[in-house]
Amino acid sequence: MGPAGIWRRLMDLVYPRTCALCGAQSEEGYLYLCWNCRCRLPLTQLPVCEICGRTATTETDYICPACRRKQPAFDRARAAAHYRGLMRDMVLNLKYHNALWLSHDLGILLAGAMAAFYQDHPFDAVTFVPLSWMRRRTRSFNQARLLASSLAHRSKPRRPVWNCLERNRFKETQTHLAARARQKNVRGAFRMTRGAEVQGKTLLLVDDVMTTGATVDECARVLKQAGAAERERRREEKRRRAAALQNMPAYAEVEDGMKKSGVEPPHSKICRHMRKGRDGGKKSGVEPPHSKICRHMRKGRDAGKRKRRQQLCVVFAVFRELFRLYY
């Protein structure tokens, strides 16, 4: 046990931790959740939609009607738990009652969901849904950023947290809006932060609540326009090419068959003639044409360097004489 663990045990003796939901004594592992409340959390269980993560009724590769009508910008979305009951109370306490200590326990739930649903989907960094400057000034913190930091701290290997997005204008809250109104409300509300480099990176986007997925979809669209998730697309293309090449005869086998039959492959003929011409030129004392070109280019480059050096020396001499005259 390290110094942090010893200090936590001492503080637990002086100030015993209690459950943030029922007031009972909290258990080991979690900080502010007891065992009974943990068992009552509505955790997400399979089967779910392969894209958006909504609850499904079949165990096969199910895609919900909403994702079939309109393909979301994100590749996969999963929730650690359903937004009801005790989970709703925890999120509301974190957002509106400054219960920042709950981010540790919610981060543990997110880490469990990541291990369950994203084990075969590696990512490079963790990012989060940003707040507007007005709401961030009023609340003094971003709950999505706290959850992203807690999740990244528990990921193995540990991933960095990147601030990739920002809101370019203030929008009204989406708590009481319908699905179409939510999509219209967040359209064009996000942009990339200055200096953010996500080209070829696979990112895990974290938000506190996902209802219709409009906010997450808009954030994923902006990230992909900046070049994110290109690596996964290239991997998928490579896998498709490899699967297509498995049904074709290998080029090495064709080349070996041509050699055994006495027919020389065409690229070998070209390489052989090029080698003969190069070796014959060396033996006869005739310099190959590419060597002449390279030699003349080097001469011109060296001459240019000498000319620039002479010009700099003349300028320096002029400034030196002017300095002597005036000072």
- The CATH number of 41-237 is 3.40.50
- pLDDT more than 70, % of the chain: 71
Note whether 206 and 152 are within 8 A (CB).
Answer: no
The token duo for 320 is 């030196």
Whole-structure pTM over 0.95, yes or no?
Answer: no
Report CA-CA distances (Å) from 117 to 44, 87, 102.
10, 19, 23
Note whether 160 and 219 are within 8 A (CB).
Answer: no
Report which of residues 136 and 60 the model is more confident about. Answer: 136
What is the three-class DSSP state of 123? coil
Enumerate the domain spans of the chain: 7-40, 41-237
Residues 98, 100, 105, 109, CA torsion sign: positive
Nearest C-alpha neighbor of 108 from the set 27, 202, 6: 27
174-191 confidence digits (pLDDT tens): 666 777 788 887 888 899
Q: How far apart are the first and last CA of the chain?
A: 72
Q: How many CA atoms does the CB half-sphere of 5 hold within 13 Å?
A: 4
Residue 48 DSSP code: B
18-50 confidence digits (pLDDT tens): 888 888 877 666 678 888 888 899 999 888 998
